[in-house]
Amino acid sequence: MQQWHTIVQSGGSLLIFAATALRLITVWRQSYPPPRLEAAGATQRFLCLSVDVQGYARNDDLRQAQIQHDLIDLLDQAGARAGLDRRRWIRQPAGDAELALIPYAEAPARVVGDFCLELAAALWRYNRVRDPITRMRLRLALDDGPADVARNGFAGQAVVGASRLVGAAPLRHALALTGTADLAVMLSDGVHRDWVRSGRSAVRPGWCRRVAVVEKEYAADAWLWLPGADVHGLVLAGH
């Protein structure tokens, strides 16, 4: 009987703990609701951002975990310094990478210009106290267009575009060839036209170089930019 009484007491404590935890989770969710589309099935236009760590696979397990942690910190720092609220981004994490749908209310010109410049600065601060082995270098790509949150991720041509651009050979080669830049950026032709060539962002047209991208079924011209380095002096295969 004593044993049964103890079990009942323990069960009651667990129920109280579970109920308290549920209330805390509910309060947190109400305070920080996740970004969502305005209505189920509604298609909106987004700036699509894809970022990936160069050379991630050559790191050991502990370093990979640290890179994932530090990557998010760097992105958050850059967003805050650029005056952006990354809590409004619809983000799809992927270990050493992140794919994000950025609402147009977040000011695309600021994402294209200020955010990328702040990310390059954050990487410089991060890497200056590290040896070459633990140096972090990033590739980032931007495209824009209609997109949806689908059952297993994001859907849309701009999503495909950003995903192909971030892995494009010219972007990989440019980052490998330069020893000074820690960030390599690829802009779709539309993003470059609307936010760089137009003069609407902090990125100057002369900083960018047109390249041809052919990745799987994707083929398009894009614009390569290395914040802090001269992209025009690089010898890229096929360019």
13 and 67 share one domain: no
For residue 84, is it within any domain? yes
For residue 173, is it within any domain? yes
Domain extent for 1: 1-33
**pLDDT tens digits along 61-117:** 999 999 999 999 999 999 999 999 999 999 999 999 999 999 998 899 999 999 999
180 and 72 share one domain: yes
166 and 87 share one domain: yes
**Which domain CATH number covers 177?**
3.30.70.1230
For residue 194, is it within any domain? yes
pLDDT at 230 over 70: yes
14 and 122 share one domain: no
**pLDDT tens digits along 22-51:** 454 444 444 444 444 444 456 799 999 999
State the pLDDT at residue 131: 87
pLDDT band at residue 179, thresholds of 50, 70 and 90? confident
120 and 191 share one domain: yes
For residue 239, is it within any domain? no
Tell me how long the chain is. 239
Number of domains the chain contains: 2
130 and 95 share one domain: yes
For residue 67, is it within any domain? yes
76 and 194 share one domain: yes
17 and 74 share one domain: no
* CB 207 within 8 Å of CB 184: no
Q: How much is the average pLDDT of 193-201? A: 97
Residues forming beta bridges with residue 144, ordered by sequence position: 47
For residue 39, is it within any domain? no
State the pLDDT at residue 239: 65
79 and 196 share one domain: yes
State the pLDDT at residue 23: 57
170 and 97 share one domain: yes
Burial of 162 (0-12, 13-18, 19+ CB in 10 A): buried
For residue 38, is it within any domain? no
Say which residue the tokens 């390569």 belong to.
224
Instruction: Classify strands 44-53 and 90-93 as parallel, antiparallel or unpaired.
Output: unpaired
73 and 186 share one domain: yes
State the pLDDT at residue 133: 85
16 and 126 share one domain: no
Tell me how far apart the terminal alpha carbons of the chain are, to the nearest angstrom.
Answer: 83
Residue of higher predicted confidence among 232 and 43:
232
State the pLDDT at residue 94: 95
For residue 56, is it within any domain? yes
pTM of this prediction? 0.81
* CB 87 within 8 Å of CB 35: yes
